[in-house]
Amino acid sequence: MCSLSFQLEKMANCCGLVTDKNEPVPLKQVEVQVQVQGHVASVSSTLQYENKEERPLEAIFVFPLEADAALCHFSAKIGETEVVAELQEKQKAREQYDDALSSGQQAFLLEESSESSDVFRLSVGSLLPGQNASVTLAYVTELAVQADDALRFCLPAVLNPRYAPQDSGNVPQVTSAPGGSVPYTLSFSVQVSSPCPISKVESNCPLEPLKYVNPNQTKATVSLSPGHKFDRDVELLVYYSGAHQPTAIVEAGQASAKPDTLMADPVVMLSLYPEFPAEVTSTLATSGEFLFLMDRSSSMGCNMHNGAGAQKRIESARDTLLLLLKSLPLGCFFNIYGFGSHHETFFPLEMMEKALEKVKGMRADLGGTEILRPLRDIYSQPCLRGHPRQLFIFTDGEVWNTKDVLDLVKKNVHTHRCFSFGIGEGASSALIKGMAKEGSGHAQFITGTDRMQPKVMQSLRFALQPAVKDISVKWNVPKGVAVTLLSPPLNVLFQGQRALLYAQLTGQVRPGR
């Protein structure tokens, strides 16, 4: 029996299939099927690989997953043997896994790193010489809204190595599989359905033509062109007509589930993407104090992606920061920090021209990615009265103390709103999205020069207006039906920001009511 557990594991390397001796195991093919329903994607990935060694291997696969994704299925097949995961307490799962290996049985263990929730570690157990293995995992994730109203789905091809501070006690357990050429191919197909018509679907990779499957164009299919090499993130942008209209999708309960349980009852997903009138947002606009925290660690000297002509991450971060500085309103205050193994600040700066020149000279020359120290320094500085403090962070997310960082951001959310920018492919979604969520701000991912400007300006617009607060949602349902909110309370919402609410429906509609 396969055990699915969530266990503390500290890994400091990128994704790949390796043995217990840190040797790569050949991955033959990746097949991904995506079902987009409104603002949510259900993803099923099948990975096929082979042991070409003359001895049994205990294989380990480390793979990236969106920080806010919910893993809902895992199965593995070796030869004619297939196992399906079940959720168990982590220590019990580990003991069963070790017992199975000791007795010569095949066993699988799936673990999540509690230090960074976008990394999963799959122990595939004993793989005999010449044997093929197939692993299937399925998860559900929300799609982020872009500045042009597109919904963004990203399938990461890489996961950057994570830097561990010297005093953290982290010990690398898995080395990265070789980069460069990719010896396997990717099959990627998508089904899209929505209450609103589908306008178009775009990607950074070549696509087959979009095919509508119904007259009102609310359902469509699309796939990658044949022969695609999985050498970069696959980014998909889905556009709907009437994007700002509230929509609701109801999913029926499972007939086989125990009555009066969450799985047996229908659930509803409510999508809110309001567009406030101009006269409302203009009265909210305010200047403030803007602090920019720039990652200048060595990893920022790497390329943004594996494609030809790719920028360095530090170059893209500089361009992003320069655009923000040039767009700041008159009357605001600002300061700039750079960090690596240590951190430094440009303060005091009297003129914008000097700040721009200093930013242009920024290099990835400050060593490791130690973000906690500069954050503590920033939070210790007194805020300027009458000027709300907005913190902008630019990083490739290569840290292993993600939980500590998020706890610190959350602790200071009442005085500092946090806007985060993930620079380059493979940036940690757990860190980037987590800082924005805990800091009541907004997250962006910059993977190339395209669409950088609208992303930057979207975050700046959010920072220049207070979030709308004291939000309440009234559910109008038939008599006899009760609504139980499953999502956390909706505390804040920006102009141009989407919110998803999930609720459980119980009871029955009363006849004639």
Is the pLDDT confidence value at 484 over 80?
A: yes
* Boundaries of domain holding 140: 2-240
Same domain, 124 and 225: yes
Is the pLDDT confidence value at 162 over 50?
A: no
Same domain, 184 and 35: yes
Task: Retrieve residue 223's tokens.
Answer: 């796939």
CATH number, position 401: 3.40.50.410
Q: What percent of the chain has pLDDT over 90?
A: 33
Q: 405 in a domain, yes or no? A: yes
Is the pLDDT confidence value at 444 over 70?
A: yes
Task: Retrieve residue 231's tokens.
Answer: 């050498």
Residues 6+ apart with CB under 8 A from 296: 314, 338, 339, 340, 362, 363, 364, 365, 366
Region 327-354: what's the mean pLDDT? 84
Q: Cα–Cα distances in Å, from 92 out to 122, 195, 507?
A: 16, 44, 37
Is the pLDDT confidence value at 283 over 80?
A: no
**Total structural domains in the chain?**
2
Global pTM?
0.70
Q: How confident is the model at residue 367 (pLDDT cuts 50, 70, 90)?
A: confident
Same domain, 121 and 28: yes
Residue 126 pairs in a beta bridge with 58
For 346, phi and psi rounded to 5 degrees?
A: -85, -10
Q: 488 in a domain, yes or no? A: no
Same domain, 307 and 230: no
The pLDDT tens digits of the residues spanning 66-111 come to: 777 888 888 878 777 777 877 677 778 778 878 877 887 766 676 6
Between the ranges 176-180, 251-255, 272-276, 284-288, where is the mean pLDDT highest? 251-255
Region 451-476: what's the mean pLDDT? 81
The Cα angle at residue 387 between residues 294 and 385, in degrees rounded to 5 = 120
Is the pLDDT confidence value at 339 over 60?
A: yes
Q: How confident is the model at residue 221 (pLDDT cuts 50, 70, 90)?
A: very high
For 92, phi and psi rounded to 5 degrees?
A: -65, -40
The pLDDT tens digits of the residues spanning 15-28 come to: 556 677 767 677 78
The pLDDT tens digits of the residues spanning 295-327 come to: 999 999 998 877 777 889 999 999 999 999 999
Q: Which of 444, 463, 482 finishes a domain?
A: 463
Residues 6+ apart with CB under 8 A from 299: 160, 161, 163, 313, 364, 369, 396, 398
